[in-house]
Structure 1
Amino acid sequence: MPYVLGIDIGGTSTTAAVSRLHANGWGEPEVVRLGDRGNAVPSALHMGGDGTLTVGEPARPDATRLARGFSRRIGDDVPLLVGNEPCTPQALTAVLAMWVVERVLASEGEVAEQVVISHPAGWGKYRRELLHRALWEIGLANVTLLPEPVLAAERHAARGVLGGTLCVYSLGGNGYEASVVGWADPVGFRLLGSTAPVDRFGGDDIDDALAALVRGKLGRELRELDGPQVRLALYGLRRECTRAKERLSVEPETDVPVHLPRGHLRVPVTRSELEGAIRPAVRHTVDTLVRTIHAAGVDAGQVDAVVLAGGAVRMPLVAELIATELPVPVVVDADPQSTAAAGAALAAAQILAPPVTEYQDPVWTAEPPALRMSNPEPSSYVNEGEMGAAPPPRPPLSITPLKLPRMRSGQRIRGLVGGRP
């Protein structure tokens, strides 16, 4: 059955969704189960001793062979060292995208008619071209790149959220982004403005705050242990705190298991304790959202709804603080981590039928054009008209090119999706 594929490669997690073509049109997006235990997989690649790259993090990873957060570094001239090999962020992102395409191909039995991949709102043409070239070189030519907030808005509009102006509050694992999008008939949503905060804050920081609460409650038990025993006791604590954070999103209290040499403990924590620890940081993100609205030239009274996206927005505190500043509906998916991926699948279906949205990038089916070696990336608030401004030139760097390993079925996929033979 023909289908389209949407992919969201975030800083910490990657999700995907498909929409299938039925007799009466494209169906509702369905989230793809990429991981063994859930829909998402870590946005991480591990290089084995033989030079092959595998998706995810091993149980005991070698930090020198593990790459994380590379999709957010596209546009940085400095490569990442993975297993002593210099790898560009866009090449690593393309490998992860190819893995998702192959994973879906294995289950669907045929290649996607169209693929849409999300990107941060602040990206300009330079970063999109870097990723386009890397995708083309690995064999993925039938790909369109669209801003994540536009995709999140498309997802919620399809679910019945009405309005010409929406705010998108995205809180992922290692950062957040506030954006404003507006409806432009007939092309769909367009980005009106976006900003990235000065201070980094995301779901990982919430996990750290919860881990600090647990360590504080252990107190004497930890002080009575020596160095190696403390490390052993705290091994896996952060993973348990991640799970406890998810439970606290729906429950007022829970227990965090801690494994001590003398036995196992269950440390009780409450939602109010966690919210007290992170409230100032969440408040700062909401203030950033309000500033973004004003910087985009939109009056707060013109906002029709605030759309939440990203796994960390499950915390009730986020919607609570937004509601105190903006008296409009605050909407969130049951699985907000997959919101952008589902929106990307919807956009992919729309691209196959006119009208084509103004955000559609050219689909490369032949040798892509040479890249302009300037980086038009904004430093603060981003408006559509500012995305083409070039920054000061950077000093030239000499980077040894890395030939990344192909997936086993990569040659077959390259032929199917229109890449080089």
Structure 2
Amino acid sequence: MSYLLGIDLGATSVTAAVLRTGGAAEPVRLGGRDGSDVLPAVLVATPGGDLLCGEPARRRAPAEPDRVARGFLDRVGDPTPLSLGGYAYAAEDLCARLVRVLVDEVSTRHGGPPSRIGVTCPVGWGRHKRDLLAAALRRRGLTVSLVTAPQAVALAHRAVVPAGGPLAVVDLGGNGTTATVLAAAAPGVLPDAVGRTLSCRTGGADVDDAVFAFVRSSSPATAAAFDALDPDDPRTVAALTALRDECRAAKQLLSRDTVATVRVEMPGLLTAVRIHRSDLDELTRPLLEPVADLVQDVVAAAPDAEVLLAGGAARMPVVVQAVSAALGRPVAVVADPVADAARGAALAVAPGAGTSWPGVRMAPLTGVPAPREPVDPAGRSPWGRPGPEATERT
């Protein structure tokens, strides 16, 4: 049975959704740390040149920090490549590698490739960056339609709440927040952006840092143990990376629970720190001031727009409370802050959804050519396979 695939390619994580004829777009379980729908946007180059993706990469990253790539979506268009273990990679090729692995995984589960693929991209991207990503995906054997993340969120929202006028989509991402006003559109129709997108650098990673600081200063003994760590010791680097993952997991747990425990396993220190939701709220509120200002500016420019919160941080009750208090009126939250952009990306390539960039309908992905592999001067492929005949280099 044919199906459509939507992928939300974020700076810190990736999600996917499958849409079948006559059904609703459903998120794909991507085998994250907690069995969730989220795949970490992390790549690790092995000594042999292969690239580990997602959860295997997250587990391997603490031991080999010089081979880790994070946040590469924000580097698309940067002429300076990323160096991983002696290999040079363009950021768009790392994005394409992650998408290719995800498409292969979904294709295996569903007995064949999707007939169409929609992929989100940052709303601030111009044609140059879109062209770079589309070309990198074609080298991986993929033909996709790109749709901005706010458009995808609006499509998913209107599929659930069809009535309404313009939307001000506030996307609280890992590395920043954007606010985009979209024109009123019927369900299933790709809405147009109205005016310019506003942004600020406050994102989920700032909350992660605040939780990390809370754990570090949780007691005088813990703070002293952190101060005594050798920053050049590989064990310290690995332990700090693992602790940041623990802090991120605790933040996510506190979106639905009232208390979480952070395990601290450092050289010379083994303890656990409890953090309550009230602690997280106290840490987060000062960080939300730029976000609240951003939303106020958007509403001032489009007073009739409904404010819709999306992105992982939208799951946090304190975020909804702070934005609503700043506006003096209620705000809406998408049905699934994590997966709705992927759902919308699948809806964007469904018949009748309007036209997503680059403005053409996609042919079924059957009989696609094998991608050409970049190689190093010694002829080794960074994907771990010999490539002496390849001539293209990333």
TM-score tier, shorter chain, comes to 0.7 to 0.9
CA distance in 1, matches of 2:382, 2:86: 15
Give 3-state SS (helix, strand or coil) of 2:349's partner.
Answer: helix
Q: Partner of 1:146: helix, strand, or coil?
A: strand
Moved more, 5-14 or 170-179: 170-179
Corresponding residue of 2:37: 39
Q: CA deviation at 1:151?
A: 0.4
Aligned counterparts of 2:153 and 2:384: Cα–Cα separation in 1:
30
Cα gap change, 1:407/1:19 in structure 2, threshold over 3 Å: closer, same or farther? farther
Which secondary structure does the structure 2 equivalent of 1:16 belong to?
strand
Question: 1:388 is matched with which residue?
Answer: none
Query: In the aligned structure 2, how far is the partner of 1:38 from the partner of 1:128?
Result: 29
Higher alpha-carbon deviation: 227-236 or 73-82: 227-236
1:257 paired residue among 244, 255, 263: 263
Structure 1: runs of 5 or more not aligned: 366-399, 409-421
Verify: 1:154 aligned to 2:160, yes or no.
Answer: no
The answer to whether the 8 Å contact 2:17/2:343 transfers is yes
Q: 2:36 corresponds to which letter in structure 1?
A: G
The Cα shift of 1:175 comes to 1.8
- Check 1:348–1:403 CA distance in 2 against 1; reply closer, same or farther (3 A cut): farther
Query: Does the aligned pair in 2 maintain the 1:44–1:66 contact within 8 Å?
Result: yes
Match of 2:275 among 246, 269, 293: 269
AA of the residue aligned to 1:64: D
Give distance in 2, aligned partners of 1:265 and 1:405.
39
Shift of 1:326: 5.2
Contact kept in structure 1, 2:15 and 2:338, CA below 8 Å: yes
Query: CA 1:239–1:6 in structure 2 vs 1: closer, same or farther (change >3 Å)?
Result: same
Letter in 2 for 1:281: L
Structure 2 SS opposite 1:189 = coil
The TM-score normalised by the length of structure 1 is: 0.77
Amino acid aligned to 2:13: S
Q: 1:11 to 1:61 in 2, by over 3 A?
A: farther
- Equivalent-residue separation in structure 2 for 1:407 and 1:140 (angstroms): 20
Contact 2:170–2:180 (8 Å) recurs in 1? yes
Change in 2 beyond 3 A, CA 1:114/1:406? farther
1:174 is matched with 175
Contact 1:179 1:289 in 2 (8 A): no
Which residue of structure 1 lines up, in the alignment, with residue 81 of structure 2? 79
Question: Which secondary structure does the structure 1 equivalent of 2:79 belong to?
Answer: coil
Per the alignment, residue 244 of structure 2 pairs with: 238
**CA distance in structure 1 between the aligned counterparts of 2:328 and 2:26, rounded to whole angstroms:** 31
TM-score (ref. length: structure 2):
0.82
Work out whether 1:53 is the aligned partner of 2:51.
Answer: yes
Partner of 2:371: none
Name 2:3's counterpart in structure 1: 3
Alpha-carbon shift at residue 329 of structure 1 (Å): 3.8
The residue matched to 2:184 in structure 1 has which SS?
Answer: strand
Contact 2:320 2:331 in 1 (8 A): no
2:373: which partner in 1? none
Partner deviation per Cα, 1:201-251 (whole Å, 9 max, x = no partner):
221211110121122222234426873489498673322222221222223
Cα deviation for residue 19 of structure 1 reads 0.6
Residue 139 of structure 1 aligns with which residue?
141
In structure 2, how many angstroms separate the alpha carbons of the residues matched to 1:257 and 1:161? 44
Cα-to-partner distance string for 1:63-110 (whole Å, 9 max, x where unaligned): 222211111221222211122222111111111111111111100111
Deviations 1:246-281 (A, max 9, x none): 222223333333347788533232222222222122
* Offset of residue 119 of structure 1: 0.6
Amino acid at match of 2:149: E
* Per-residue Cα deviation, 1:330-360 (whole angstroms, up to 9, x for no partner): 1232x411111011111122xxx24633655
Question: Matched residue pairs, number?
Answer: 359
Aligned-partner Cα distance in 2 for 1:355–1:275: 39
Secondary structure of the 1:177 match is: strand
Between the aligned residues of both structures, percent identity stands at 37
8 Å contact from structure 1 (residues 193, 293) kept in 2: no
User: Which amino acid is 1:147 matched to?
Assistant: T
1:3-402 equivalent positions in 2, closer than 5 A: 3-21=3-21, 25=22, 27-36=23-32, 37-56=35-54, 57=57, 58-59=59-60, 60-141=62-143, 143-160=144-161, 162-184=163-185, 187-198=189-200, 200-223=201-224, 227-228=228-229, 231=236, 236-259=242-265, 264-294=270-300, 297-298=301-302, 300=303, 302-303=304-305, 305-324=306-325, 325=327, 327-333=329-335, 335-349=336-350, 353-354=351-352, 356-357=354-355, 359-362=357-360
Q: 1:161 and 1:72, CA in 2 relative to 1: closer, same or farther beyond 3 A?
A: farther
CA RMSD of aligned residues (A): 2.9
Whether the 8 Å contact between 1:306 and 1:330 is mirrored in structure 2 is yes
Query: Which consecutive residues of structure 2, in runs of 5 or more, have no partner in the other structure?
Result: 364-375, 386-394
Match of 2:338, SS?
helix
Against the structure 1 CA distance between its residues 112 and 119, is the aligned structure 2 distance closer, same or farther, given a 3 Å change threshold?
same
SS of alignment partner, residue 281 of structure 2: helix
